[in-house]
């Protein structure tokens, strides 16, 4: 969770307190060395208010279970990312990822184990992508990676790394955890989020059927 709200509001309050003390010293001979009790209380209150803002912002952009980005964040950020990718005349790759037999995992091992599997997959996706990529929980047991400025080589590297990491996870927890991954490329396959998702979804289910 970022500290943006807390930092900004605290800096503003500290600046106002400093100005008030200087003004009081210049015009009313208020001693600069006197402990500003009211100011300290104001800073603490504002830090708390800032923390509440940071929490609201965090949970408006993040999935509660996995703490990766949520669908809302992707929908908000995608138009700007699409425009920037287009201006740079680059490709952008979408990875739509669906957990194989997730219902069976829930039915066999319980929903708590299912949740842990989703959390583990989220960590794997994060650790095998870069800071420029957006990793999100799209819906249920579906995940999405938006990878701007990517090419065919990067796509294959990401898929290879994710599948290898899932094999290791399966061995560690003694449970078969695998995914189907469908991809689409902007602008070759489509030029809107819905169309790119449709293409990736179709390719993902083609993979499942194989």
Tens digits of residue pLDDT in 92-148: 999 999 999 999 999 999 999 999 999 999 999 999 999 999 999 999 999 999 999
Residue 47 has pLDDT above 80, yes or no: no
| Size (the chain), residues | 210
Residue 2 has pLDDT above 90, yes or no: no
pLDDT score for 15: 74
Residue 1 has pLDDT above 60, yes or no: no
pLDDT confidence band for 27 (50 / 70 / 90): low
* CATH superfamily of the 71-209 domain: Reverse transcriptase/Diguanylate cyclase domain (3.30.70.270)
Mapped onto helix, strand or coil, the DSSP state of residue 179 is strand
Residue boundaries of the structural domains of the chain: 4-61, 71-209
Reported as a single tens digit per residue, the pLDDT across 144-165 is: 999 999 999 999 999 999 999 9
pLDDT score for 59: 60
Give the pTM.
0.76
pLDDT averaged over the chain? 86
Check: CB of residue 143 under 8 Å from CB of residue 124: no
Nearest to 98, CA basis, from 14, 168, 177, 186:
177
Strand ranges, E, within the chain: 92-99, 134-139, 142-148, 179-186
pLDDT score for 195: 97
Residues 137, 112: Cα–Cα separation, whole Å? 17
Over residues 168-191, mean pLDDT = 95
Reported as a single tens digit per residue, the pLDDT across 58-68 is: 565 789 899 99
Tell me whether residue 141 is one of the annotated catalytic residues: yes
pLDDT score for 113: 95
Catalytic residue among 141, 151, 176, 189: 141
């Amino acid at each position: 969770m970022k500290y943006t709200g807390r930092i900004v509001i605290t800096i503003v309050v500290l600046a106002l307190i400093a100005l008030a003390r200087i003004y009081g010293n210049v015009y009313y001979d208020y001693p600069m060395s006197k402990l500003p009790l009211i100011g300290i209380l104001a800073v603490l209150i504002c830090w708390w208010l800032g923390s509440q803002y940071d929490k609201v912002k965090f949970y408006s952009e993040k999935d509660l279970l996995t703490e990766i980005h949520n669908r809302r964040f992707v929908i908000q950020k995608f138009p700007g990312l699409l425009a920037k990718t287009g201006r740079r005349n680059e490709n952008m790759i979408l990875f739509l990822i669906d957990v194989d037999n997730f219902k069976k995992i829930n039915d066999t091992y319980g929903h708590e184990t299912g949740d842990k599997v989703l959390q583990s997959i989220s960590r794997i996706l994060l650790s095998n992508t870069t800071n420029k990529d957006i990793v999100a929980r799209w819906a249920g047991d579906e995940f999405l990676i938006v990878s701007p400025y990517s090419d065919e080589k990067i796509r294959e590297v990401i898929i290879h790394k994710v599948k290898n990491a899932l094999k290791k996870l399966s061995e560690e927890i003694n449970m078969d955890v695998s995914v189907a991954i469908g991809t689409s490329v902007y602008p070759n396959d489509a030029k809107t989020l819905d169309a790119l998702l449709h293409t990736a979804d179709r390719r993902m289910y083609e993979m499942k059927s194989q």
